[in-house]
Amino acid sequence: MEDGFNTVSILGVGLIGGSLALALKEKKLVNKIIGYGRNEQRLKEALKLGIIDSYTTSLKKASQAELIVLATPAGIFEKIIIEMLNYLKKGTIIIDVGSVKESVVNSFEKILPAGVFFVGTHPIAGSDKTGFEHAKGDLFKKAKVIITPTENTDKSALEKVSNLWQKIGAVVEFMSADKHDKIYALVSHLPHLISFCMVNTVAEMDKNFIKYAGSGFKDTTRIAKSSPEVWRDIFIMNDKNILQCLEIFAKNLKEIKKMLSKKDSEGVKTFIEKAKNLRKEIDS
C-alpha cells in the first residue's frame, strides 16, 4: 500500500497495540493485521472483537509482515528480535512503542540485518488500564508521538513511519534517544515510581487507611495501577536517568522536611507556589 502497509504484525495486543490496530483499520492504512502473543485464548478474543484479522503464537509467521510493531514489555524486545532474525525479510520496518529508547535503539542497530529498518517511536498516550478490552481507535488523536532517529536510520522508513502516525491523528516530534530518556525519566518514570512508593507507604503504616482516600490521593496514585511487568522493565532500562531524578527529588524532600521541622510557614508556602506556577504551564 502506498499510504500504509499491506500486513502489520502487532507483537503484544494490549491497550497500545490494540489501539494502534484499530486506528490503522479505521484509517484504512492496512489490509491485514496479525496479532502475536503467547496466550492463544486472549488472541482469539482480540480476533472476535475485530481488533486483529488473524493471530499466531509463532514469531516466524509474525515476521512476514511489512511492518512489525513491538508492543510487549520493553525488557523482551531484544529477545524477540533475536528469535526473528532468520525470518525477517528485506524491506521490513520495525517500530516499538516503548517508553525507553536509547538502549533499544543501540541494541537494534547492532543486531538487525542489512535491509531491515528500525524506527524508535513512543506514543505519549495510554491509561492505567491494561488489555485490548480498553483499546480505542482514537487513542492517538492529538497525542504526541516521539520518534528517535539516528544518523543510521533509513530515511524512507523514517518518513513512512512518521506519516503513519500523523495519519492516525498523532502529533509527531523528533528527538535523540538520549534526550528522550532524560525527559521521560523526569515527567513519566519518576511520577510512576513515586506513585508506587506513596501506596506502599500507606501499606507500611496501615493498609486499612486506604479506604479513607479522597480524590487527591486517587488522582495522584491512579498510575500505581499500571502493569508491574511494563514498569519493572522501564525502571531497569532507564535506571541511570531515573536515579539522577531521584537525587533531585530526595533533595526537595529534605528541603521540605527541614522547613516542617522548623515550622517555616513562609518557606513551605513558597515551596508550594513554585510547584503550582510551573504545573499551570501544562494547562495553558
Per-residue tens of pLDDT for the chain, all 284 residues: 667 899 999 999 999 999 999 999 999 999 999 999 999 999 999 999 999 999 999 999 999 999 999 999 999 999 999 999 999 999 999 999 999 999 999 999 999 999 999 999 999 997 777 899 999 999 999 999 999 999 999 999 999 999 999 999 999 999 999 999 999 999 999 999 999 999 999 999 999 999 999 999 999 999 999 989 999 999 999 999 999 999 999 999 999 999 999 999 999 999 999 999 999 999 87
Domain boundary among 175, 202, 221: 175
Residues 214 and 244 in one domain: yes
Give the count of domains, the chain.
2
- The CATH number given to whatever domain includes residue 111 is 3.40.50.720
Range of the domain at 66: 5-175
Phi, psi of 178 (to 5 degrees): -65, -45
- The residue whose grid cell reads 513551605 is 268
Residues 99 and 133 in one domain: yes
Q: Select from 9, 25, 29 the least CA-distant residue to 71.
A: 9
> Using H for helix, E for strand and C for coil, what is the string for 43-90?
HHHHHHCCCCCEEECCHHHHCCCCEEEECCCHHHHHHHHHHHCCCCCC
Residues 185 and 246 in one domain: yes
How far apart are alpha carbons 247 and 123 in whole angstroms?
A: 27
Res 99: pLDDT: 96
Contact 59, 2 (CB under 8 A): no
Q: Cell digits for 243?
A: 536515579
Q: Can you give the pTM of this predicted structure? A: 0.92
Res 127: pLDDT: 76
Res 245: pLDDT: 98
Residues 25 and 159 in one domain: yes
Res 1: pLDDT: 63
Residues 157 and 204 in one domain: no
How far apart are alpha carbons 185 and 99 in whole angstroms?
A: 9
Residues 225 and 165 in one domain: no
Res 126: pLDDT: 79
Residues 161 and 185 in one domain: no
Angle at 174 between CA 153 and CA 243, to 5 degrees: 100
Domain boundary among 131, 151, 175: 175
Residues 188 and 144 in one domain: no
Residue 138 in 3-state DSSP? coil
Residues 109 and 239 in one domain: no
Residues 125 and 188 in one domain: no
Residues 224 and 246 in one domain: yes
Res 142: pLDDT: 95
- The residue whose grid cell reads 503484544 is 12
How far apart are alpha carbons 249 and 233 in whole angstroms?
A: 21
Residues 12 and 136 in one domain: yes
Domain boundary among 120, 144, 175: 175
